[in-house]
């Protein structure tokens, strides 16, 4: 939906563009370097510039491309789904690690299958090749045993399941699966994994077999006990068909009604298969599964907790029981010396999305405990540590500095996603690591490496986000910005439903060029029409109407406006507007004389279009322009007075335009008496504005007090 609004709906670029998108970054940057542009994407008066270290995006190498897949991905077949998948190596290793944990514990040996010991039966000596009609005359047991023997032969002489000579066997077996025993059914399921992968899940022989097996297993499921159901599910995992098989979906649904009575190991294994299907049935009462987890937590290992955490996170099921969260954090802290990186990753992901603001100190304490272990953790785990406090704005400078320093030294081996996430964390905390003061320049340099081109074009969102975060921190690399704003990059972003939020980011990037960009910038720009469209789409509303229909931030803004108007001498002396049209929340604007006395805002300013950049009007002499940022509850790093990165950027850009900027912190302003609120505003204005506040506080208190008393009389 957002992607359709982001740009006009047009036909996707087509297979040819997708197959050749490795060249997109090169094309855009080459255009940047040679001044060969579409004039519709250029701002007025922009000239080519040469900024040392900024316009050096390489265009000399042309990497080869694959038909599908990308840099730092692995080309792999599902073990026997027969499909070539381009999957993230870490995602595969997560599931493999979780399964290895189960296999390593005796309690799971009867309900899991080892990858290297599938079907340890020597049938292959009896493998025979019969004609289609001969297979049709065999009994169901003979057909099943014939397929098992032929499958075992593949270990010694690999064969193609899709060869015509196997069609009769596959079709006959598929039609007779309902007549074989449960044990033979399981052996056939195992045998299928011994064949070399086919070209896809829908190749004729393979699709007939696995669909028939899927149906047969699903129909028999209800007569099996939980252990048997898990064992069959594990064979589907060995085939790498868990995501698309009906069996796994149906099994997790049926067993979901028995969560509260599951033994500890059963709960762990159940959540492993739920992870594979990426779904936890909605009828499962979260309180019940959390209650059961609380009861069994002391009976499972930290590695099994990692399997459980992965199941919750992958199914987007997050914890609400604060006592359970506290116990999980304690168990994690106690076992940090023994937990594997993959399990710790899963636990940290779950905690990041589960811990409420009321428990933020527990996360900070966990970061304290993690600090001595950072040197031994791998990069993927370090990234999760860096992101742990993001949702609650919990900042641990020593931890972030250590991780940033390690990432700086290993930049070339990081995934683009890892670079984007660590850049986001640094931007969020508005933090320049003291151990790596040039961190952002290192990131920009890495984005320019020719080796990154293929990866960038497969993950354009990560690239554009990195550029936006660098911009937020005040670094504007012209070549990277031009590459991010080129039409072919915008088309790539538009083609993916996962990139629906990127319109806001590219809009911010383009507006920032007007405010902070070099006057001689000659790179790509958004067209005027596109920028106006995006600005209208993402610009927040100016708060009006009944308080019950407003957000917390909007109510706070209106309240501060009323108090500030009383300090100035009337509502006509102040306005709420989007001085920066690319930022959602509006600000308060007022003017003073050079002596600090309030003066009415010029009508010329008030008449500016809502989507325009509202600069102070320079030709009106003797007027000082002031902006007041009402910094809401998420504007500051937790337990500090440090503005988060994008709010600090807002302040910086208002200053750049010529405003004197004051910041009203919600934590000081809220929950105070009227006089205390006015004192807070007075202090903020004295620090940032040109208003002479002498004697104004008492007058404002009298006015506001009278207004409150009259309102009480009206309300009766």
User: Count of residues for the chain?
Assistant: 716
CB-based contact 159:195 (threshold 8 Å): yes
Query: Does residue 270 lie within any of the structural domains?
Result: yes
What is the structure's pLDDT at 288? Answer: 84
Which secondary structure element, helix H or strand E, spans residue 578, and what is its range?
none
Q: Give yes or no: residues 581 and 660 share one domain.
A: yes
What is the structure's pLDDT at 696? Answer: 94
Using CA atoms, how far apart are residues 433 and 411, in angstroms rounded to an integer?
A: 15
CB-based contact 161:199 (threshold 8 Å): no
Q: Give yes or no: residues 586 and 656 share one domain.
A: yes
Q: What is the pLDDT of residues 416-452, one digit of tens each?
A: 999 999 999 999 999 999 999 999 999 999 999 999 9
Q: Pseudo-torsion of CA 360, 361, 362, 367, nearest 10°?
A: 100
* CA nearest to 598, candidates 685, 684, 525, 531: 685
* CA nearest to 100, candidates 343, 331, 350: 343
Q: Give yes or no: residues 134 and 258 share one domain.
A: no
Residue 628 DSSP SS3: strand
Using CA atoms, how far apart are residues 205 and 165, in angstroms rounded to an integer?
A: 11
Helical residues (DSSP H) of 177-285, grouped into ranges = 182-192, 204-220, 226-238, 246-255, 264-277
Q: DSSP code of 643?
A: B
Using CA atoms, how far apart are residues 153 and 57, in angstroms rounded to an integer?
A: 54
Q: Give yes or no: residues 81 and 39 share one domain.
A: no
Using CA atoms, how far apart are residues 276 and 311, in angstroms rounded to an integer?
A: 8
- The pair of structure tokens assigned to 381 is 């785990």
- The pair of structure tokens assigned to 657 is 């335009």
Using CA atoms, how far apart are residues 350 and 352, in angstroms rounded to an integer?
A: 6
- Residues of the domain holding 626: 553-715
- Choose one of 177, 206, 240: the last residue of a domain: 240
CA distances from 92 to 68, 240, 292, 304 (A): 18, 10, 28, 18
What is the structure's pLDDT at 83? Answer: 30
* CA nearest to 190, candidates 166, 154, 244, 243: 154
**Total H helices, total E strands in the chain:** 33, 7
Name residue 633's beta-bridge partners.
none
Q: Give yes or no: residues 507 and 459 share one domain.
A: yes
Q: Give yes or no: residues 230 and 250 share one domain.
A: no
CB atoms within 10 A of CB 548: 6
Which secondary structure element, helix H or strand E, spans residue 624, and what is its range?
strand 623-631
- The pair of structure tokens assigned to 603 is 């009508």
CB-based contact 581:612 (threshold 8 Å): yes
Using CA atoms, how far apart are residues 274 and 307, in angstroms rounded to an integer?
A: 11
Instruction: Name the pTM for this structure.
Output: 0.84
CB atoms within 10 A of CB 559: 15
Dihedral pair phi/psi, residue 456, rounded to 5°: -60, -40
Q: Give yes or no: residues 628 and 645 share one domain.
A: yes
Q: Give yes or no: residues 697 and 603 share one domain.
A: yes
What is the structure's pLDDT at 112? Answer: 94
Query: Does residue 439 lie within any of the structural domains?
Result: no
Q: Which residues contact 79 (CB under 8 A, 6 or more apart)?
A: 115, 193, 197, 238, 239, 240
Q: What is the pLDDT of residues 529-582, one digit of tens each?
A: 999 999 999 998 899 867 778 999 999 999 999 999 999 999 999 999 999 999
Q: Give yes or no: residues 287 and 328 share one domain.
A: yes
Query: Does residue 279 lie within any of the structural domains?
Result: yes
- How many Å separate Cα 246 from the centre of its chain? 28
Q: Give yes or no: residues 174 and 231 share one domain.
A: yes
CB-based contact 626:587 (threshold 8 Å): no
Dihedral pair phi/psi, residue 140, rounded to 5°: -55, -40
Q: For Cα atoms 3, 580, 676, give the angle at the middle one, nearest 5 degrees.
A: 120
Q: Give yes or no: residues 503 and 486 share one domain.
A: yes
Name residue 576's beta-bridge partners.
588
CB-based contact 102:96 (threshold 8 Å): no
* CA nearest to 141, candidates 103, 172, 180, 187: 180
- Choose one of 191, 212, 240: the last residue of a domain: 240
- The pair of structure tokens assigned to 45 is 């008066």
Query: Does residue 486 lie within any of the structural domains?
Result: yes
Pairing of strands 574-577, 84-87: unpaired
- The pair of structure tokens assigned to 247 is 């069996």
Query: Does residue 403 lie within any of the structural domains?
Result: no
Q: Which residues contact 512 (CB under 8 A, 6 or more apart)?
A: 471, 476, 582, 653
Residue 45 DSSP SS3: coil
pLDDT < 50 stretches in the chain: 1-55, 58-90, 124
Query: Does residue 393 lie within any of the structural domains?
Result: no
Query: Does residue 64 lie within any of the structural domains?
Result: no
- The pair of structure tokens assigned to 497 is 């439903």
What is the structure's pLDDT at 87? Answer: 35
CB-based contact 175:139 (threshold 8 Å): no
What is the structure's pLDDT at 257? Answer: 87
Query: Does residue 627 lie within any of the structural domains?
Result: yes
CB-based contact 207:201 (threshold 8 Å): yes
Q: Give yes or no: residues 117 and 179 share one domain.
A: yes
- How many Å separate Cα 26 from the centre of its chain? 27
Q: DSSP code of 109?
A: G
- Count: domains in the chain: 4
Using CA atoms, how far apart are residues 662 and 629, in angstroms rounded to an integer?
A: 6
- Choose one of 181, 206, 240: the last residue of a domain: 240
Helical residues (DSSP H) of 7-57, grouped into ranges = 15-19, 24-34
CA distances from 233 to 107, 154, 202, 494, 597 (A): 16, 23, 21, 38, 76
What is the structure's pLDDT at 283? Answer: 64
């Amino acid at each position: 939906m957002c992607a359709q609004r982001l740009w006009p709906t047009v036909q996707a670029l087509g297979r040819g563009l997708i197959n050749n998108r490795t060249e997109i970054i090169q094309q855009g940057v080459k255009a940047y370097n040679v001044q060969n542009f579409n004039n519709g994407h250029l701002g007025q008066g922009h000239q080519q510039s040469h900024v040392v270290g900024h316009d050096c995006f390489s265009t000399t190498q042309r990497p080869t491309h694959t038909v599908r897949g990308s840099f730092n991905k692995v080309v792999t077949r599902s073990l026997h789904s027969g499909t070539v998948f381009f999957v993230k190596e870490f995602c595969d290793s997560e599931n493999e690690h979780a399964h290895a944990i189960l296999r390593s514990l005796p309690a799971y040996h009867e309900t899991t299958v080892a990858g290297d010991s599938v079907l340890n039966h020597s049938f292959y000596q009896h493998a025979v090749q019969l004609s289609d009609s001969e297979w049709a005359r065999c009994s169901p047991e003979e057909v099943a045993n014939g397929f098992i023997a032929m499958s075992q032969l593949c270990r010694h002489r690999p064969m193609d399941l899709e060869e015509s000579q196997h069609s009769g066997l596959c079709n006959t077996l598929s039609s007779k699966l309902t007549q074989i025993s449960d044990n033979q059914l399981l052996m056939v399921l195992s045998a299928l994994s011994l064949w070399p992968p086919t070209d896809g899940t829908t190749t004729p022989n393979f699709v007939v077999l696995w669909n028939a097996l899927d149906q047969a297993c699903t129909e028999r499921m209800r007569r099996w006990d939980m252990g048997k159901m898990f064992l069959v599910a594990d064979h589907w995992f060995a085939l790498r068909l868990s995501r698309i098989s009906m069996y796994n979906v149906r099994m997790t649904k049926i067993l979901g009604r028995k969560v509260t009575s599951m033994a500890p190991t059963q709960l762990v294994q159940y959540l492993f298969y739920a992870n594979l299907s990426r779904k936890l049935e909605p009828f499962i009462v979260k309180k019940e599964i959390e209650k059961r987890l609380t009861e069994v937590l002391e009976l499972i290992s930290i590695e099994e907790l990692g399997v459980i955490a992965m199941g919750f996170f992958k199914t987007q099921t997050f914890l609400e029981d604060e006592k359970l969260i506290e116990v999980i954090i304690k168990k994690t802290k106690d076992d940090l010396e023994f937990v594997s990186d993959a399990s710790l990753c899963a636990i940290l992901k779950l905690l990041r999305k589960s811990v409420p603001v009321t428990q933020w100190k527990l996360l900070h304490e966990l970061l304290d405990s993690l600090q001595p272990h950072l040197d031994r953790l791998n990069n993927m785990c370090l990234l999760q540590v860096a992101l742990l406090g993001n949702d609650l704005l919990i900042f641990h400078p020593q931890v972030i500095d250590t991780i940033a320093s390690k990432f700086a030294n290993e930049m070339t081996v990081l995934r683009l996603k890892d670079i984007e996430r660590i850049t986001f964390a640094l931007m969020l905390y508005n933090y320049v690591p003291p151990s790596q003061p040039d961190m952002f320049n290192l990131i920009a340099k890495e984005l320019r490496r020719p080796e990154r081109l293929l990866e960038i074009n497969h993950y354009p969102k990560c690239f554009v986000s990195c550029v936006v975060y660098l911009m937020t921190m005040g670094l504007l690399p012209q070549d990277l910005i031009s590459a991010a704003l080129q039409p072919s990059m915008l088309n790539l972003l538009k083609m993916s439903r996962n990139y629906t939020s990127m319109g806001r980011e590219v809009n911010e990037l383009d507006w920032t060029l007007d405010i902070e960009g070099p006057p001689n910038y000659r790179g790509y720009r958004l067209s005027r029409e596109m920028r106006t469209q995006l600005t209208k789409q993402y610009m927040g509303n100016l708060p009006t109407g009944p308080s019950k229909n407003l957000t917390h931030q909007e109510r706070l803004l209106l309240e501060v406006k009323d108090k500030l108007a009383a300090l100035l001498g009337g509502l006509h002396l102040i306005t709420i507007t989007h001085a920066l049209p690319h930022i959602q929340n509006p600000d308060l604007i007022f003017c003073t004389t050079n002596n600090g006395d309030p003066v009415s805002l010029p009508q010329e300013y008030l008449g500016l279009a809502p989507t325009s950049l509202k600069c102070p009007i320079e030709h009106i002499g003797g007027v000082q322009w002031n902006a007041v940022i009402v910094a809401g509850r998420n504007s500051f790093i937790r337990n500090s007075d440090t503005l988060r990165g994008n709010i600090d950027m807002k302040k910086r850009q208002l200053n750049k335009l010529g405003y004197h900027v004051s910041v009203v912190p919600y934590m000081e302003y809220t929950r105070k008496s009227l006089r205390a609120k006015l004192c807070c505003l007075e202090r903020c204005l004295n620090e940032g504005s040109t208003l002479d506040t002498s004697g104004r506080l008492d007058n404002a208190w009298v006015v506001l007090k009278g207004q409150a008393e009259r309102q009480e009389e009206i309300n009766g």
